[in-house]
Amino acid sequence: MTQAKVDDVGLARFAEQLGYAAYVVMDSQLIWSDPYACLALAADRTTAIEIGTIAVIGTRLAPVTAAAIATINRLAPGRTLLALATGHTAWRMMGQPPRGLALLEATIGVVRGLTTGLTVPFRHEGREAPVRLDMAELGFVDTSHPVSIQVAATGPRATELAGRLADGVVDPTAADPARIRQVRTALAESGAGRPTTISAPLHVILLDRGEDPASDRVVAEAGPTVMLVLHEIYAGLLARQAADGPPMVMADQLPPPVRAVWKDYCALVDRMPDETRNLRLHAGHATYVHPDEWRFVTPGLVAMTTLTGEQGDVIDKLRELDDAGLDRVYLASAPAFSYASAERFARLILSRW
């Protein structure tokens, strides 16, 4: 799983050659390339690997999203994945909150129907009308081969929705055996009565033998992931406060590594101008660390937000997740997922799996 960047789509072919199962790009229109442009290029360069995107609802109307992914499905028939998310930077960079679960459910229904060749009702601005991908038979899109529809979310209601309507859930908190079992139970209780896969994005940092997990290399590689987590915690708490929801949590309720930097981090964010905070808060999202924020990339936060260890430790952890019921791990957080890191993981982990 990587940023949508048109210059990097060669990674899809490289990953396919190394034996990876999927190449997935993230969607955030104000900071990365358009994901469907990237997937079209990736489809042209590959023949077997699954390709897809974590797509944000609402930034495109549901029929537009359906047409986009059905076009990719025409280029890569039967190996196309679409995970739908309520949005973090995609909406917050525009000064707006992520979308709600009602829109997520409606979007799943429209996209699922259209990509399977059905005519479905579509409601927008108070009006409802039937819609369909009208000329699929002429080759403009592919509705004959299945598109894997996933939900990218962590909350109980979104997990229940995934169990009812989707083929899988992408849950960044499912890199823990207890959480995997919890999600598996929730999916089973959703009443769908069909298999639903669980996937987890996971930033893996492979240490050299004897390498210090607090080395400069590890800190540099983990930095964008650490800051992504801090950005999300702050933005989520601020959003709940603005919506008159539960009060912002006290520092002693945060995980210890977060608690250790929280007061200093909040002081930094509070100094950002109100009118441009939506831009500055997410600077470097999953890509680089703003110079003012390097001091927050502590060894404790690196350990909390990544799977860092030597080869045997990483294999043991991945086997533990596999035994708990995790179906797929997405190696997350570009630019760490480079040609070199993809080759290293394939050689040291995939080859011994």
Tens digit of pLDDT for each residue in 287-331? 999 999 999 999 999 999 999 999 999 999 999 999 999 999 999
In this prediction, residue 238 carries a pLDDT of 62
Please tell me the predicted confidence (pLDDT) of residue 336.
58
pLDDT tens string 236-262? 776 554 444 444 455 568 899 999 999
Q: Which helix (H) or strand (E) holds 226?
A: helix 216-242
Taking residues 1-26, what's their average pLDDT?
95
Return mean pLDDT, the chain. 92
Element of type H or E holding 276: none
Please state, for a pLDDT cut of 70, what percent of the chain lies above it. Answer: 94
Q: What is the pLDDT of residue 146?
A: 97
**Strand 120-124 and strand 127-131: pairing?**
antiparallel
Report the SS3 class of residue 20: coil
pLDDT of 245 reads 46
Check residue 335 and give its pLDDT.
62
**CA 310 from chain center: how many Å?**
25
Distance CA 116, CA 132 (A): 10
What's the pLDDT score for residue 51? 98
Residue type, 315: I
The upper half-sphere exposure of residue 104, i.e. CA atoms within 13 Å in the direction of its Cβ, equals 28
Over residues 121-136, mean pLDDT: 97
Amino acid at 21: A
In this model, does residue 88 exceed pLDDT 90?
no
Give, as one character, the DSSP assignment of residue 207.
Answer: P
pLDDT at position 125 over 60: yes
Higher pLDDT, 1 or 34: 34
CA distance 251 to 259: 6
Q: Please report the pLDDT score of residue 247 as a whole number.
A: 44
Predicted confidence at residue 249, as pLDDT, reads 52
Average pLDDT over residues 146-166: 93
What distance in Å separates the CA atoms of residue 88 and residue 98, rounded to the nearest whole number? 6
Q: What is the pLDDT of residue 193?
A: 73
Pull the structure tokens for residue 168: 């899988």
CA distances from 315 to 272, 300, 307, 350 (A): 42, 21, 11, 9
For residues 49-59, give the mean pLDDT: 98
Q: What is the pTM of this model?
A: 0.93
**Domains of the chain, earliest start first:** 2-203+310-333 (3.20.20.30), 216-302 (no CATH)
3-class SS of residue 27: coil
Do 57 and 107 form a contact (C-beta atoms < 8 A)? yes
The per-residue pLDDT for range 157-213, each reduced to its tens digit, is 999 999 999 999 999 999 999 999 999 999 999 877 778 999 999 999 999 999 999
Model pLDDT, residue 334: 55
Amino acid 24: pLDDT: 97
- Cis amide leading into 177 (omega within 30): no
- CA separation, residue 25 to residues 54, 102, 177, 347 (Å): 7, 25, 26, 23
pLDDT of 199 reads: 97
> What's the pLDDT at 192?
74
pLDDT of residue 323: 96
Please determine, for residue 107, whether its predicted confidence score (pLDDT) is greater than 90: yes
pLDDT, mean of residues 211-237: 91
Q: 3-state DSSP helix/strand/coil percent for the chain, to nearest 5?
A: 50, 15, 35
